[in-house]
Amino acid sequence: MSLKRFPWAWLVALLASFGIGLAYAWAFSPVEYVDAEPRVLRTDFKDDFRSAIAAAYASNADLERARARLALLGDPDPYQALTAQAQRMLASGEPVETVQEVALLASALQGMQPVAAEPSATETTFPTTTEQASQPVSTETVPAESPEPPTEIETTNTPVPLLTATSRPTRTPTPTLGAPYQLVGQDTVCDPELEEGLLQVVVTNVSRRQIPGAEIIITWNSGEEHIFTGLKPELGHGYADFLMTPDVTYSVRMADGGTPASELSAPECTSTDGEPYLGGIRLTFQQP
């Protein structure tokens, strides 16, 4: 077949049709995904989904529902996914409240919840034991308090309206903040195997059980950093750390209040071969 007899017109028409169809599909009628499963979402959308689940859990404390929702994302390890997301959120400077919600949900998946605080001594509560609940409710009627009735009412013998006494509704006590944390340990750490200038913080309750999700505030002359315990469970659920800069003085305190640790700076240590290096500090806060 000669080139003159080749069906060039058909080939040009075919290519033009293909180009027009492709342009229409991309520009005028692109594919829209509707009701897609969470597991096919982009990474940033998955992070938003986890944050929403964590916020819901912080509101209703329904761990089973949170587990079911996290399963929709198809993460091999939801705990590790939440922990990694919390670290990314801290690095990007997102609100500490949102980071704490994610960290608390991660801790809950591991069966480690922050210790619930005791109700305040001034909180008014009403017992609801079985014995008291079985007591009958009083239906005694008492006269309503009113000003001295006028003479007309007395002469007509109008009965005084009666009120029925009912039991006072039971109030559900709400949790309050626990006692402020106390600084119970401050040690210099000279270990060449650790990162230089490593500030380690461990937070425990009175039973020395480590508390995850506790917020720690580190301040220095030119800045402030918020860190949370429980983001490195391999080192302890109440563990958090921070790298100190040489020749900078830091102050460390718990966000819930208590005794701070101040005038902290990376100590100078010497290795076995006489070489100097920056050591670290280990702080222990305990809630009495």
284 with 184: CB under 8 angstroms?
Answer: yes
Q: What is the arithmetic mean of pLDDT over 198-207?
A: 93
Beta carbons within 10 angstroms of residue 225's beta carbon: 13
pLDDT of residue 3: 56
Q: What Å distances lie between residue 106 and 40, 80, 134, 155, CA to CA?
A: 22, 8, 42, 76
Rounded to whole angstroms, how far apart are CA atoms 67 and 56?
12
220-260 pLDDT tens trace: 998 999 998 888 888 888 899 999 999 999 999 999 889 89
Nearest to 252 by CA among 212, 201, 180: 201
Q: What is the arithmetic mean of pLDDT over 138-157?
A: 46
Higher pLDDT, 205 or 96: 205
Beta carbons within 10 angstroms of residue 80's beta carbon: 13
Higher pLDDT, 121 or 84: 84
Helices (H), 93-212: 96-109, 130-133, 151-156
Rounded to whole angstroms, how far apart are CA atoms 68 and 155?
73
Higher pLDDT, 162 or 278: 278
To the question of domain 182-286 being in CATH 3.40.50, the answer is: no
High-pLDDT (> 70) share of the chain, %: 71
Of 68-72, 177-181, 190-194, least confident by mean pLDDT is 177-181
pLDDT of residue 233: 80
- Name the average pLDDT for the chain: 76
The model's confidence at residue 195, banded by pLDDT at 50, 70 and 90, is very high
Nearest to 183 by CA among 110, 108, 127, 263: 263
Name the segment(s) of the chain with CATH classification 2.60.40.
182-286
Of 36-50, 165-179, 181-195, 220-234, least confident by mean pLDDT is 165-179
